[in-house]
Amino acid sequence: MSVTTSTTKQAFVDVRPDEYERTGVGSSGEERFREKERLSQMSSSRLKTMERLFSIVPPIILAIVLLVSWYAGTTYGHVNTLLLPAPGDVFSSLVQGLSAGTFFSNAWFTIQESIFGFLLAMAIALPLGYGLAKSRLLASAIHPYLAAGQAIPAIVIAPVLVIWLGYGQIPNILVCMLVVLFPMVMNTILGIQTIDPALTDAARVEGAASWSMLSQIEFPLALPAILTAVRTGFTLSITGALVAEFVQGGDQGLGSLVLLAKNQYNTPFMFATLVVLAGLAALYYACTWLLTRLANTIY
């Protein structure tokens, strides 16, 4: 009797959960297995929900605290409005500028400069970074000048470009390109140099040529660093455009609006322009985030 019972128990243990329904053995065990799987899925979904909340709630709370402190300081703290305007005045100036189209036209001017400067920098930085990572001779010849160019502030180079090229968007685009170029080159070099040589050697043994090596081996492996370069460069392009507009002192662009507000001591309008710039930076960040997700999906 004991032997028979032991054999039956062993047979029950050996039956896998996916065989319960086919064999008709252990329906209660199958239910327990499904219950555990359901609880595991619920726990995983709750964990993801908590992670999303922790990524959203703290910034919102911090924004509310800063806004309340700002309102209290300007309303009850007797802060000079030339130093810090009230939130209501900033909001009123923002609405007025949006309704008049002032922010849209000048933001579009700055967006054009930043995008063209970024695209020009990317067209130069990616092949240049690849060449510097692959050729010691090219690196020893160009890298010192690249580093020296980065050491010189763009705000110093901008007046020279204005003298050479005159006023307009062209010198602003070049200044934006110079601001973006060095970080993109360095990230591209890092991405290429961190590729495991064993992988490239194995690809050469399999007959990979220069183009197939670049497109199928080196580019996918260096893609995280390249995406970092793109995200950094695209965000910095706004800074480059604003620096150029500050130096040139024209009448178009968000940087020109900041200078105009400063000269008129119109701090509500200045803060409203900063809000537009913050929204533009958030839009750029969202675009680079979507680009990263798309690249991760493809590769």
The pLDDT of residue 257 is above 60: yes
Is the CA virtual torsion 97, 98, 103, 104 positive or negative?
negative
- pLDDT at site 271: 94
What per-residue confidence (pLDDT) applies to 99? 94
| Residue % of the chain over a pLDDT of 90 | 28
Question: Where is mean pLDDT largest: 19-28, 44-53, 95-104?
Answer: 95-104
Q: What is the pLDDT of residue 6?
A: 45
pLDDT tens column, 70-120: 888 888 877 777 788 989 999 999 999 999 999 999 999 999 999 999 999
Best-predicted range by mean pLDDT among 183-187, 247-251, 294-298? 183-187
User: Which of the two residues, 217 and 116, has the higher pLDDT score?
Assistant: 116
Q: When comparing pLDDT for 182 and 11, which is higher?
A: 182
User: Residue 162 has what pLDDT?
Assistant: 84
Q: Check whether 20 has a pLDDT greater than 60.
A: no
Q: Which stretch of 29-38, 214-223, 258-267 has the lowest confidence by average pLDDT?
A: 29-38
CA dist., res. 58 & res. 221, Å (int): 35
* 120-133 pLDDT, tens digit each: 999 999 999 999 99
In the predicted model, what is the mean pLDDT of residues 244-257? Answer: 87
Q: Determine the Cα–Cα distance for residues 161 and 178; give it in Å rounded to an integer.
A: 11
Residue 29: per-residue pLDDT = 65
Q: What is the pTM of this model?
A: 0.77
Confidence tier at 17 by pLDDT (50, 70, 90): very low
Please say if the pLDDT value at position 285 is more than 60: yes
**Which pLDDT score, from 0 to 100, does residue 79 have?**
79
Give the CATH architecture of domain 87-298. Answer: Orthogonal Bundle (1.10)
Rounded Cα distance, 293 and 214, in Å = 22
Amino acid 52: pLDDT = 73
* Arithmetic mean of pLDDT, 138-156: 83
- The candidate with the shortest Cα–Cα distance to 159, out of 173, 176, 171, 147, is 171
Answer with the residue of higher pLDDT: 148 or 31.
148
pLDDT tops 50 at residue 1: no
pLDDT higher than threshold 50 for residue 142? yes
Specify the pLDDT at position 294: 86
Average pLDDT of 243-259?
A: 88
CA distance 43 to 24: 30
> Which residues, 6+ apart, have CB-to-CB distance to 117 below 8 Å?
172, 173, 174, 175, 176, 177, 179, 180, 237, 240, 241
Q: What is the pLDDT of residues 157-201, one digit of tens each?
A: 888 888 888 888 899 999 999 889 988 998 899 888 888 888 777
Per-domain boundaries in the chain:
2-71, 87-298
pLDDT reported for residue 27 = 53
